[in-house]
Amino acid sequence: MPVTAIVGGHWGDEGKGKVVDALAAGANLVIRYNGGNNAGHTVVSERGTLRLHQVPSGICYAEVDCVIGPGVVVNPAALFEELDMLEAAGISTARLRISDRAHLVFPFHVEVDETVEVARGPKAHGTTRRGIWPVYAEKAARTGIRAGDLLEPQFLQERLNEASRRATALLGRTVTAGELWYLCEEWSDRLPGRGRVRRRGDSASAHRARDRGGQGIFNGGRCGSNADRAWRWTRRPPAGTGTGIWSQYRPAAPVWVV
């Protein structure tokens, strides 16, 4: 199945969401492959103006499978608000799947982002202060917590113990494993409990779409390496490497949005 990769070539706000929404009309799979809820894709449809941050822009089409890929960092609390907004607009989110390898944004990540940005003073990087880069830093260090960890309580508890110690050291206040566990229980009720997170669920959705033929869309954010500071928007490289299923498809036709 051929795919088309949508990549932002500037500082954001290039209209990537509108491009994905237009192309998704002829596709059967849309995968969001990088970034987090720092992104904003606005889609205007007959159901009104929809502001998407983590959900792929193809969600407006009933026949399109949508996947949040392993290259994305997911803020569950913000995602739930987005899903509620879509359902209220009459748009089903039942076709949305989340990769078990996508990393999760906790409130302490947001606090770390805010604290570090304030400490930079006049040399602040201008981050969105939504905890994106701290999660990608943990991902690179192999210490982050992934969506699939919610399916493994014993392993999750070990990771939360480690995360609470790191957060306490970084913030200078006590962050307990218990409060993180409470959040995970709440998230588990709405993520794995509704079948959204599955082991290799992103690949399964991709295989179904491939078998049906048609077109796939890789829905990404901007290209971080082309800004004045490559680390201002911390994301995986472009062109679909964050989809987790790149090798299964014919080379993508890139759409560079500026």
Radius of gyration of the chain (CA): 18
On whether the 103-190 domain is CATH 1.10.300.10, my answer is yes
pLDDT tens profile 216-234: 777 766 554 444 444 444 5
How much is the pLDDT for 189?
Answer: 85
Is 13 marked active-site? yes
Distances in Å between the Cα of 127 and the Cα atoms of 7, 113, 120, 230, 254 are 20, 8, 11, 12, 27
Where helices occur in 98-200 by DSSP H, the ranges are 107-119, 132-141, 153-171, 177-190
**Averaged pLDDT, 165-194:** 90
How much is the pLDDT for 205?
Answer: 57
CATH 3.40.440.10 range(s) for the chain read 3-99+196-257
CATH 1.10.300.10 range(s) for the chain read 103-190
Is 53 marked active-site? no
Question: pLDDT-based confidence at 240, cuts 50/70/90?
Answer: low
Instruction: Locate 35 and state its tokens.
Output: 């970034």
**Averaged pLDDT, 62-81:** 93
Closest CA to 241 of 73, 32, 22: 32
| Cα gap 216→196, rounded to integer Å | 20
Question: pLDDT-based confidence at 209, cuts 50/70/90?
Answer: low
How much is the pLDDT for 4?
Answer: 81
159 pLDDT more than 60: yes
| Cα gap 150→54, rounded to integer Å | 19
| Cα gap 147→139, rounded to integer Å | 12
Catalytic residue among 21, 41, 53, 65: 41
pLDDT tens profile 99-121: 999 999 999 999 999 999 999 99
Architecture in CATH of 3-99+196-257: 3-Layer(aba) Sandwich (3.40)
C-beta pairs of 60-63 under 8 Å, 24+ apart in sequence: 60/21, 60/24, 60/91, 61/24, 61/25, 61/27, 62/92, 62/95, 63/28
* Cβ–Cβ < 8 Å for 254, 5: yes
List the beta bridge partners of residue 31: 67, 218
